[in-house]
A and B are shown apart, each in its own frame.
Chain A
């Protein structure tokens, strides 16, 4: 839902980042307002996943330039756990397994960390059980998964549902979902997309990172961004995704080549 007067939640300006010595993000600009759903599309290696990791604060990624402002605050200064408590959520493409740590306990500690940050009282085990059972319905998940270790032995679809369950409990203001559709069959995709739609409100925003149109059939984006070589190359409405679906990414390559040519032309001039 686009409302020009809605408050800006996330403002990314000329963001550069590298992993080890390799520059991945080369000047990303993106403004996300409350109520909006953004989709970032692009080929493998275009920097989509890196963008999501940088926003969540993964220690392997180093920001080398630019800024990210979250509700007026410098997001890049915050430790990952503080970002999460403040309402930035990353749904992982490959959620890791954590043997020995009970899923229920993990969800409770995590939910309480967010609640304390918001000035709410911590939930005791009984109160939390009530809450989690209610939120399980969002993703139609079997309560048996609460008793297991975090993601351990979960199928791909179960892991993704567990991600959306966490999102339902943490009630983020900005939810970044990294390839949430990958590895899902049609039914699981429908459930996960239904969960995301259910959780989207006029006060929150969603950033979907995806390869495929099929997720966008289930979750209608307000904006579609095409990423290539670490930048957002083009921004449009939901029809841009359809265009990508029909035309493929070849035209992106052509546009990128033209742009890089322009860069090359411009740079010596700047030096001079």
Chain B
């Protein structure tokens, strides 16, 4: 294993989650039209305000063009070739897990997300979304005792329409951008979290997204609201089967935090990335944005992006409240032919707002990995501070890394600090570790996890080790 050639020959670890669940699915016909939007809304028995929201979004989407400013190259997407709604054939929502199709439970078991009472992850409540619908949410009763609402967004539309109407689309308007507009028109399911005033959510909340059908797009919508003094830590995970066609995933996540509230939102993204020649894989176009509406509120995004053929994603914070805090910690790993254009936007509106950006990009194989970030300091953001650190690591000599930092400040006194670095794992570093008895693959993963340490430290404990393992797995055979 010591020579570079031999290492290049190492067989990559196959994608573990690439299986397809054989289950009867109700799908609507391919293509997108106003009728399709109405059909989705009627299938979900939605109130009029939501249908209006969807139709406004759809009509606006028709006037928009797909953005092309990202450093990404992919064939144009035919939006009429996509199925916009697919659901496992069963009654929409079950009273208890016993009634859920065992095949679905088995699927989530295989993914390492057991939903049944006996095997549940301790202290993590899970909402499981399969294709277009949520199939189960664990620990709901326990959370309800604390006044916490954690359910699928479809369920929230039925049971808490006033909350949905009050918050949906207020952070990411339906006409925000091309993919957000598309999502607003056709979103199928996702999670809703509401933490009432003064409540510290007693457990980690987690949503697990699974795409199963081959020609279906996944358009999930997540909304998290933390009222005054509330706090919650939320984790999102995702996988998809291996198909040799590309699937579109265009999600929208909105976070709202009021005075003294905080949301910690972590993502471990492991969508199918395509094969080593770039065939297949998920196109991941995601709009994630949080609004720190209240004073001293805080939003922290942590993401570990390892999958998807294409990643277009900029989790952002709008820092309105005085003294509010935004954080973005990111590890983006690309291998083979993957492309990622990811970063964040920190919009400083209120006085003394602070933001921190730590981005670690790792590019291996023939992949391309770009960091794109905006720090904007508005005229009223006196005493605003930002610190950004963007580091890139290159593995092998075929991969590319780019950094596009944008800084716009209307506050001469604002403190904006940006640091960037690029490094390459060298043969001499690997040999040094090997000559101390450390195997080649372990040496690479030691160096990569050392590089990512600052970000992994931000992940909830249960997931930090997982993230470490996931990266090691993704990199197997990539050095040579």
Contact = CB atoms under 8 A, between A and B. Distances in A.
- Going nearest first, the 6 A-B pairs with the smallest beta carbon separation are A100-B450, A113-B437, A110-B436, A84-B437, A101-B450, A80-B434
A106 interface: yes
Contacts of A109: 438, 442, 446
Interface string A81-98: 101110001101001101
B432 A96 contact: yes
A57 B432 CA distance: 11
Contact of A80 (B2, B4, B451): B2
A98 B434 contact: no
Given A59-B3, A92-B432, A149 B450 contact: yes
22 contacts: A57-B435, A59-B3, A59-B4, A60-B427, A79-B1, A79-B2, A81-B440, A83-B435, A85-B437, A92-B432, A96-B426, A96-B429, A98-B447, A98-B450, A100-B449, A105-B446, A106-B438, A109-B438, A109-B442, A109-B446, A110-B433, A110-B438
Interface string A17-32: 0000000000000000
Interface of B: 1-4, 423, 426-429, 431-440, 442, 446-447, 449-451, 453
A98 B444 CA distance: 11
B423 to A, nearest CB: 7
B438 A100 contact: no
B345 to A, nearest CB: 27
DSSP class of B's interface residues: helix, strand, loop or mixed?
A: helix
Contacts of A113: 436-439
Nearest to B439: A81
B190 to A, nearest CB: 36
A170 interface: yes
Contacts of A45: none
Interface residues of A, number: 31
Interface of A: 56-60, 79-81, 83-85, 89-90, 92, 95-96, 98-102, 105-106, 109-110, 113-114, 117, 149, 166, 170
Contacts of A149: 450
Given A81-B434, A109-B442, A166-B436, A98 B3 contact: no
**Taking each of A96, A102, A117, which has the highest tally of chain B beta carbons within 10 Å of its own beta carbon?**
A96
B423 A99 contact: yes
Contacts of A170: 436-437
Contacts of B450: 98-102, 149
A79 B432 contact: no
Nearest to A101: B450
Contacts of B440: 79, 81
A13 B120 CA distance: 62
